[in-house]
């Protein structure tokens, strides 16, 4: 079975594949745990563009009904790192971002946060009478009424963590530091952790060349031969597209650096 875990410590806390392997508190029927893919990284600070987006979202959160208001409300839930929200106003199901969204319904994908808080935020901002599409359903109550409170089943999506694989080839040169491979990996990870050119977001495309500046930061005179990226080992692509039910993750163990 699968479950969602959230790190309570702020910042870029790495969670590589297999790192979750101990159960600190005994629970009946639960005897083992492992994470097959890396977890989504948090950050301590936001970039200027992220601040501007958050400012816009804070304004949108004042509304009720528009999908932007729903997204803003879910983004404000404690622990939520990323949100993708879209609505299908048509009378038939529609394929949006690789996901089939039911007719007259909204689709919200969220990374992190408490499921009940997310569902309550959606209920507070969604248009009356709309349906919901997603793999997670939570029953929430309208607290504006006395008991017995009206109850609603709110569905939303918990995206799958999809590991990225990156293969870097650089020109073999006697001037390169002996630890050049480790330096390149560290700078590529910092590109993610510190909010550089590469954004690992729900439904985004990730381009291999966006990592070139990070590689140059590791050693300015390094000659890059190629950068390939993909969803499986030995990647061969120049970019990777992700559906709106997927969030890319990157761990240093999935980066290979070869001197040619």
Sheet strands side by side (includes 255-259): 224-230, 165-170, 255-259
| Between 41 and 129, residue with greater pLDDT | 129
**Which of 83, 43, 135, 32 is CA-nearest to residue 247?**
83
Burial class (CB in 10 A: 0-12, 13-18, 19+), 212: middle
Dihedral (CA of 55, 58, 63, 66) sign: positive
Euclidean distance between CA atoms 139 and 149, whole angstroms: 12
The arithmetic mean of pLDDT across residues 218-236, rounded, is 96
The arithmetic mean of pLDDT across residues 239-248, rounded, is 96
Residue 199 is predicted with a pLDDT of 82
Whether the predicted pLDDT of 74 surpasses 90: yes
Residue 233 is predicted with a pLDDT of 93
The b-or-e profile of 60-92 (16+ CB within 10 A means b, else e) is bbeeeeebbbbbbbbbbbebbbbbbbbbbeeee
CA of 233: how far to CAs of 37, 146, 227, 228, in Å? Answer: 13, 55, 13, 11
Residue 143 is predicted with a pLDDT of 83
Whether the predicted pLDDT of 219 surpasses 70: yes
Lowest mean pLDDT among 44-53, 73-82, 153-162: 44-53
Residue 27 is predicted with a pLDDT of 61
Residue 42 is predicted with a pLDDT of 61
- Mean confidence (pLDDT) of the chain: 86
Lowest mean pLDDT among 33-47, 86-100, 108-122: 33-47
Euclidean distance between CA atoms 161 and 93, whole angstroms: 25
User: Could you tell me which residues are beta bridge partners of residue 87?
Assistant: 106
Euclidean distance between CA atoms 111 and 134, whole angstroms: 13
Residue 161 is predicted with a pLDDT of 93
Query: If pLDDT is split at 50, 70 and 90, which confidence band does 189 have?
Result: very high
The arithmetic mean of pLDDT across residues 200-223, rounded, is 94
| Between 187 and 5, residue with greater pLDDT | 187
Q: Read off φ and ψ for residue 214, nearest 5 degrees.
A: -65, -40
DSSP 3-state of 85: strand
Give whichever of 28-37, 49-58, 63-72, 82-91 has the largest mean pLDDT: 82-91
Tell whether pTM > 0.95.
no
Express each pLDDT in 123-168 by its tens digit.
999 988 899 999 999 999 988 888 999 999 999 999 999 999 999 9
Residue 128 is predicted with a pLDDT of 82
Whether the predicted pLDDT of 227 surpasses 60: yes
Express each pLDDT in 10-40 by its tens digit.
666 666 677 776 665 556 556 667 777 676 6
Beta strands in the chain (DSSP E): 80-88, 94-96, 99-101, 105-112, 131-133, 136-141, 151-156, 160-163, 165-170, 205-207, 224-230, 239-241, 246-249, 255-259
Spatial contact of 168 and 184, defined as CB atoms under 8 Å apart: yes
Query: Residue 141: how many CA atoms within 13 Å on its side-chain side?
Result: 7
The arithmetic mean of pLDDT across residues 78-93, rounded, is 94
């Amino acid at each position: 079975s699968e479950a969602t875990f959230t790190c309570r410590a702020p910042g870029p806390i790495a969670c590589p594949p297999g790192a979750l392997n101990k159960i600190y508190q005994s629970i009946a029927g639960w005897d083992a745990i492992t994470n097959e893919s890396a977890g989504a990284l948090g950050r301590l600070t936001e970039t200027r563009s992220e601040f501007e987006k958050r400012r816009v979202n804070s304004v949108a959160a004042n509304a009720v009904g528009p999908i932007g208001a729903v997204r803003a409300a879910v983004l404000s839930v404690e622990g939520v790192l990323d949100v993708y929200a879209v609505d299908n106003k048509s009378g038939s199901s529609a394929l949006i971002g690789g996901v089939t969204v039911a007719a007259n319904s909204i689709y919200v994908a969220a990374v992190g946060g408490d499921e009940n808080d997310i569902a309550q935020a959606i209920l507070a901002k969604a248009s009356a009478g709309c349906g919901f599409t997603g793999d997670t359903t939570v029953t929430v109550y309208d607290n504006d009424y006395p008991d017995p409170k009206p109850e609603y089943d709110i569905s939303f999506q918990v995206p799958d963590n999809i590991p990225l694989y990156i293969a870097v080839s650089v020109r073999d040169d006697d001037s390169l530091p002996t630890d050049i491979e480790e330096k390149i990996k560290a700078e590529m990870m910092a590109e993610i952790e510190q909010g550089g050119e590469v954004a690992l977001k729900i439904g985004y495309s990730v381009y291999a060349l966006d990592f070139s500046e990070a590689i140059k930061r590791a050693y300015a005179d390094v000659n890059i031969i190629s950068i390939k990226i993909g969803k499986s080992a030995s990647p061969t692509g120049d970019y990777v597209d992700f559906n709106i039910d997927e969030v890319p993750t990157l761990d240093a163990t999935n980066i290979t650096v070869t001197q040619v």
